[in-house]
Amino acid sequence: MGLGQLSVSPNSQTAKLYNFDNTFAQTDGLFLAAAAVDPSVGLAIGASVTLPGGSTPTTITGANIVAAIKAFAINGQAYYFGSGEIRGMKSVPVVGSETSVFGYAAGAKLTKRVTEKVSLKYDRWYGNETFFNQLLENKAFDWFFFTNNTVHSVIWSASNVNYVADGFGAPMEANPGEGITGTFGLQWVTDGFVGGESGVTLSSLSSDDVTLAISNPTIGGTGLTAGTCAAANTKKYIKTNAGAATLAFDITPANDCVDWGVYTATGDALPSGYGTFSSATKTLTLPATMAAGTYTYAVTVINKTGVKGQLTVEVTVLPA
C-alpha cells in the first residue's frame, strides 16, 4: 500500500474535554427566546449578511445574532419570540445505530445521525392561529433558540426539519383570569452532536425593542402647529379653526409593506368630527371646523410578521 492509500480514522484525533468552569458551564438548561427567520436571508453563525438599512455585509456571531434577527423582524423577514413570552426545552437526543450486529459486538454500532427535538410553550399562542397554520403547511424557516448565553441554530435546508404533531395547539384549562398559552415543537437531524454558540447576553433577549419607529409626522394644511411634550411616543398639536390640516405618517427606516390605522384612544373607529385617515397615503385629515377640546388619536402600524409601532397624537383645538 502506498502512502497515498493510507486512511486516518476519525477516532485517532483526540478531542478536548473542557473540565473547567467556562461559558457553557454557566448556561441554564432552558430556551428563553426563539426566532424563525426567512431562509432567503441566509442568516447563520459565520455567514456574511447585509442587515436591513445597511450597505456592507456583517459577519454573524453569537454576540450580534440577536440584534441581527431583531433588525430582520422589524423589516418583516423574521418572527422573534422574546424572553418572558416563550419557554422551551430540548429532549434527550436520539442517536442512530446500524441495523445489524456483527461478530461478538454487544450491540449495533452507533452512527453520527442524531435527532434533536425542541418543545416550546408560547404565552401568546391564542389569537396567532394564522402563524401556526404556516407550520401545519410545513413552511420553511431557519430557527434559532436562545439560552441565557448561547444560541442553537437549526438551518432548514441542512437539517431535515419537521414540525411535531404531538402537543401542537392551545388548550383551555378552565383557569379564570389566566391567559391561553399553547405549545409547538420541531425536530431535526444533525451529523453528530452540535452545541450552541456563545456570545449571547441575557439582557438582549427581550422583545421590548422589536418595534416599528414612527417618524415625526409631517404637518400640512393650515392652522396646525406642533406643541411640546416630553412623553415617549406622544406628539401634541394645537389647532385653530383656520382651515383643514393634515398629519402624514411614516416609519424609520421606511417600509411600505405595513398596515396603518388610526383609532381613538380606546381603540375605536374615529367618530364624526375627528377627521378621516387614509391608509393609502398614511395621512390624517383634520376638518376645517372642529369643536374646541382635546382629541386623542392612536396611530398604529404593523408589518407582515406582526411587529407593531404606535404613536399617541393629541390635538388641542382652540375656541373660535
Instruction: Report if residue 90 sits inside a domain.
Output: yes
Across the range 102-116, mean pLDDT stands at: 90
What gap in Å lies between CA 234 and CA 153, rounded to an integer? 39
pLDDT at 5: 52
Residue 209 predicted with pLDDT over 80: yes
Last residue of a domain, one of 186, 205, 224: 205
65-91 mean pLDDT: 97
Are 73 and 180 in a shared domain? Answer: yes
159 - beta bridge partners? Answer: none
50 and 88 inside one domain: yes
Beta bridge partners of 294: 316
Do residue 243 and residue 301 come from a single domain? yes
Residue 85 lies in a domain: yes
Confidence of residue 1 (pLDDT cuts 50, 70, 90): very low
Q: Which of 155, 171, 205 is the last residue of a domain?
A: 205
Q: Number of folded domains in the chain?
A: 2
Tell me the pLDDT tens digit for each residue of 259-307: 999 999 999 999 999 999 999 999 999 999 999 999 999 999 999 999 9
The verdict on residue 18 lying in a domain is no
Mean pLDDT (whole number) for 246-264: 93
pLDDT at 20: 80
**pTM for this model (two decimals):** 0.89
Residues 196, 121 share a domain: yes
Segment 51-79 mean pLDDT: 96
pLDDT confidence bin for 99, thresholds 50/70/90:
confident
Within-domain flag for 8: no
d(CA 247, CA 231): 19
Is 104 inside a domain boundary? yes
Last residue of a domain, one of 174, 205, 236: 205
Residues 46 and 183 in one domain: yes
Q: How far is CA 76 from the centre of its chain?
A: 9
**Residue 178 shares a structural domain with residue 253:** no
SS (H, E, C) the chain: CCHHHCCCCHHHCCCCCCCCCCHHHHCCCCECEEEEECHHHCCCCCCEECCCCCCCCEECCCCCHHHHHHHHHHCCCEEEECECCEEEEECCCEEEECCCCCCCCCCCCEEEEEEEEEEEEECCCCCCHHHHHHHHCCCCCEEEEECCCEEEEECHHHHCCEECCCCCECCCCCCCCCCCCEEEEEEEEEECCCCCEECCCHHHHCCCCCCCEECCCEEEECCEEECCCCCCCEEEEEECCCCCEEEECCEECCCCCEEEEEEECCCCCCCCCCCEEECCCCEEEECCCCCCEEEEEEEEEEECCCCEEEEEEEEEECCC
| Residues 102 and 247 occupy one common structural domain | no
pLDDT of 4 above 70: no
Q: Are residues 243 and 147 in the same domain?
A: no
Q: Give 183 or 5, the one with higher predicted confidence.
A: 183
**Position 62 pLDDT exceeds 50:** yes
Check whether residue 218 and residue 306 sit in a common domain: yes
Instruction: Tell the residue number behind the cell numbers 399617541, with chain if given.
Output: 312
- Considering the domain architecture, whether residues 179 and 225 belong to the same structural domain is answered as no
Contacting residues for 59 by C-beta, under 8 A, at least 6 apart: 46, 47, 48
Is 15 part of any domain? no
HSE, CB side, 13 Å, CA atoms: give it for residue 124.
Answer: 12
User: Is the CB of residue 184 less than 8 Å from the CB of residue 170?
Assistant: no
> In the prediction, which pLDDT does 181 show?
94
Do both 101 and 194 map to the same domain?
yes
User: Domain containing 221 — which CATH number?
Assistant: 2.60.40.10
Quick check: is 106 in a domain? yes
Whether residue 228 sits in one domain with residue 189: no
20-24, 214-218, 281-285, 286-290: the lowest-pLDDT one: 20-24
Domain range enclosing 299: 213-317
Domain membership of residue 229 (yes or no) is: yes
